[in-house]
Structure 1
Amino acid sequence: MDDLTKGIRSWPRVLVANMILLLCISILSNYLDYSRGKTVELKVRTRYNDAVHYNKVSTVHGVFESGSNGTLSVKPQSFLDAYILTYATSESFNVFDYLYFLTITCLLWWMTYDIRKEDIFSKKVITGLRWIGWSIAFYGILKMLIFFPVNAFIGNYTGEVFGAQEPIRYPYSFLMGALLFQLIPMFIQKARQIQKEKELTI
C-alpha cells in the first residue's frame, strides 16, 4: 500500500482527531475564563436581531447587569452556562476557521509519513510547510478583504460595530505566521545542503 492510499484511508481519523482537539481547546478556554470569574459583555442588538439575541441568552443562568453603551454584562453561575453563553454569542469562529484548521492538520498528518521514515529533510516535508505558509497568508488576506468589510457594512446598518479591533490584529498575525512557515523550509533546505556536502567530503 503506497503512502497516498494510506493517507486517504487515515483522513477520517484525522477529521475526528481534529474535532476532538478543537473541542478540548474550546472547553479548556471556557473553563479558564469561568474559573477566573470572567464577565461576558453582550452587545444589545438593534432592529430585527433583538429577539434572536435574547432567545439565545435566555437559556443561560447568571447575574445580568446592564452596562454602558447599550451593553449587557452576564456572569454565568456554572461552567456549563459559561460554555453555552460563549457559543451562543460567538460570531468569530465559523466554518472557514474550521476548514482552515482541518487543512493544516491534514497537511501535518501527510508529512508525518516521511518523518516516521527518519527522512525529516524530505521534499514532501518542505512542500507541506510551504503550503501551510501560503494557506495562512491566503486566510489572512481573505479575512482582511472580505469578512471585515462585510462586518463593517452590517455594523453600519444595524448600529452595532462588530470586531472593531480585528482588522488591525488578524492580518498581521496571519502574515507573520505565513512568513515563519516560509522561512522554516529555507533553513531545512540549507541543512540538507550542508548534510550532503559533509557526506561528499567523507
Structure 2
Amino acid sequence: MLSFKQLGETEKDFKVDEKKFRVAPSNELLLETVKNLELKNHRVTVVEDEAAALQLLIDEIPKDSEVMAASSCTLDEIGFKKYYFSDDCKWKNVHKKILAKPAAEQGVARKVALASDYFLSSVCAITKSGNIYVADASGTRVGGFTASTNMVIVTGFNKIVETDELALQRTEQFCLPCESVRARYAYGNKGSVIQNLLSCKFGATMYNKYHIILVKKLLGY
C-alpha cells in the first residue's frame, strides 16, 4: 500500500492540508482523548512507536485466534502485514483463506470474515470527546466494527481532532483524497468514495470490545 509520502510522488498534483490534519496533538489533547475513550468503555493503550504497536498485537491476541484485517496503511507501517502473512504468524490468517478460494466465492467469504474473533483496522479520526469515525467504499472495513467479536484499532496520534466537525472534515477533505490516489494506483479506477460512514460514540456495554492502540507517531492517512 502507498505510504502518505508516496501519494504525492504518484500524483504530482495531489494536495491536502497536512498542517491541519496530519500533525501531532498536544499532550493535553492526547490525554483528554484517552480519558474520554476510556469513559466510553473502550480499552486504550498508548505506545511510543511502530515496533511497540506490533509487539502489543502479537502479545495480546491469543494463539490460533481467527484474525481479519482491513487494508490499512497504518497496519502496513507498523509491520503487521509482513507478520500476518509470515510463517511465524501465530494466528489463523482469515485473509489468506479468502484469497485461496475461487474468485466467485470470495465475496461471501469476506462477509463471514467480518465476524472473526479479531478484526483489525485503523480509523479516519478520533475526537477529543472519544467519538470514533471510520469510512469505506465497500463495507469490508466498517462491517468489521459491528460484526467482529473483538475490534482492534491501530492509529497514529495524528488522527486525533478536537471536534466532530473536524472529524468529518478530516474524513472527507483528507482521508478521501488520499484513498482516491491509492485506489487509482491500485485498481485503475476514478478514485474512492465514502459509501459507508460509521460514528462510534460508545463502546460495547458488556465488555471492552474495542481496543484502541494509539501510536505516538504520524501514521497512515
Q: Shorter-chain TM-score: what band?
A: 0.3 to 0.5
TM-score normalised by the chain length of structure 1: 0.33
User: Greater relative contact order: 1 or 2 (C-alpha under 8 angstroms, separation 6 or more)?
Assistant: 2
TM-score normalised by the chain length of structure 2: 0.31
Larger Rg: 1
Q: Which has the higher helix share?
A: 1
